[in-house]
Structure 1
Amino acid sequence: MTTTFITGANKGLGLETARRLVNLGHTVVLGARDPERGAAAAADLGVRFVRIDVTDDSSVRAAAADVEAHEGHVDVLVNNAGIPGAAVDAEALTGRDVLEVLDVNVAGVVRTTTAFLPLLRRSPDPVIVNVSSGMGSLEHTHDPDRAESQVIAPAYTASKAALTMLTTQYAKALPDVRVNAADPGYTATDLNGHSGPQTVTEGTDAVVALATEGPGHGSGRLVDRHGETAWG
């Protein structure tokens, strides 16, 4: 049975990913920063909850140790935790604002990946899925026909551009692990005030596809719900 650990999984895309993977037979460990919300979400799904704050090295290491003690290994790591950052005009944006977003959306992925790699390497087919965004694409954000071009969110878009590049670098550096990025698309979640036209089920199509595709597929890809997309 496939064991999957998901960060930021107490709501939104993370929770829906957990629900779908449970229905597909995965043993899901639900990771979240808030202990009450995380425990409640896990209880609703009938899975185990592990607290993890991806901005805290000690918390991430403790989460990995907890999973090692209970599950012993991880087959799929879904780096889903992310924040949009402060809703401020670009001219008011501060370095602290940007660092806060990068700490979760990029450095948080690094912390979690590093801590969970030993557990992933106990799997015959280790997989990492980084939940990125078309908001980090130069092509998408310059295309007037796409919703991504209508949004101004410097810190968030920069963090997702960094995450997609981080994914390709990990894919090269970790040839024994399949590392890919998922673009959920414009999905109705708390992150955008539920303004997206897609449901959370549609938004998790790419994540679930990457988590369940099995051996023999490529690494270093960006995938949306319609399939593999070009980096740009």
Structure 2
Amino acid sequence: MASILITGATNGPGLALAEELAEAVHQLLPHGRAPQRPVPVAQRFGVGQYTADLSAPAEPQRPAAEVAARRGRLDVLVNNAGVASPGTAPSEACLQTDTSSGWR
């Protein structure tokens, strides 16, 4: 059974992928930006949860490090986290790009 950390697993494509992987009996490790966001997903699948605001400079490495500390290994990382809003002001476009790509 693979241990799979999915960033942005609280809605949209991340949640859909989490559902598929949980049905395939993988060890799902959902991530969300705010502490309360991954709770319903974690409870639904009976698994732990991971939180980090991946738009903050020091945060992108934290979920994988927590998985390694708690579980001893991480087999797969699905970097699905991102923010997107139609009509975003140019000043906010960097936040969207940084969060989605993991670049700082």
TM class by shorter-chain length?
A: 0.7 to 0.9
Which ranges in structure 2 are unaligned for 5 or more consecutive residues?
Answer: none
Greater RCO structure (CA 8 Å; 6+ sep): 2
Q: Using the alignment, how far apart are the partners of 2:13 and 2:46 within structure 1?
A: 18
Match of 2:95 in 1: 100
Contact 2:67–2:73, Cα closer than 8 Å, also in 1: yes
Match of 1:170 in 2: none
Match of 2:48 in 1: 48
Task: Name the TM-score, length of structure 2 as normaliser.
Answer: 0.85
Relative to its length, the structure with more helix (as a share) is 1
Contact 1:3–1:28, Cα closer than 8 Å, also in 2: yes
Residue 67 of structure 1 deviates from its aligned partner by: 0.5
Q: Using the alignment, how far apart are the partners of 1:57 and 1:83 within structure 2?
A: 16
Structure 1 letter corresponding to 2:93: V
Cα RMSD (Å): 1.8
Q: Using the alignment, how far apart are the partners of 1:6 and 1:83 within structure 2?
A: 15
Residue 86 of structure 1 deviates from its aligned partner by: 4.8
Match of 1:7 in 2: 7
Q: Using the alignment, how far apart are the partners of 1:82 and 1:61 within structure 2?
A: 15
1:110-153 deviation per Cα after TM superposition (whole angstroms, max 9, x unaligned): 47xxxxxxxxxxxxxxxxxxxxxxxxxxxxxxxxxxxxxxxxxx
State the identity as a percent: 33
Choose 1 or 2 for highest CA Rg.
1
Contact 1:7–1:52, Cα closer than 8 Å, also in 2: no
Q: Which secondary structure does the structure 2 equivalent of 1:13 belong to?
A: helix
Task: Name the TM-score, length of structure 1 as normaliser.
Answer: 0.41
Written as runs of structure 1 = structure 2, the 5 A alignment for 1:57-136 is 57-87=57-87, 93-94=89-90, 96-106=91-101, 108=102, 110=103
Q: What is the count of residue pairs matched by the alignment?
A: 104
